[in-house]
Amino acid sequence: MTINVIVKSANIMKPQEEINQLTKRIEELRNTIKNCNHDFATPIYDPEEKRVQDDHLGFEQHGVDCWLIPSFHTEKIPRWSRECTICGCKEYTYETSPVINSYEPIFRK
């Protein structure tokens, strides 16, 4: 048999007081992230999913009624992200640069 006990706190916070307190706490956390000496983990490929309208219209039917509707599909936009191992902030980028990691010999005649 389970006994449910309701404990009422002596100092129940009013909603506005709780909002003020949480707002202050959020500001403190934002400052912690802002002042962090970020230590980012290895970036990962993290494509953004974007809903794009098709060139053609779709077809919808309910009973005898039918009509054309905009049709959509999902596209993956190439994007990379990295996360700070200390504060957890995440950064995104769509930019890349070429990486040259090997060479091949050139024989001139």
**Residues in contact with Zn ion by the rule CB under 5 A:** 36, 38, 84, 86-87
CB of 97 to Zn ion, least distance (A): 23
What residue type is assigned to position 83 of the chain?
E
Q: For Zn ion, which is the closer residue by CB, 25 or 50?
A: 25
Helix, strand, coil tally for the chain in percent (to 5): 20, 35, 45
CB of 84 to Zn ion, least distance (A): 3
Question: Cα separation of 86 and 89, whole Å?
Answer: 8
Q: For Zn ion, which is the closer residue by CB, 80 or 84?
A: 84
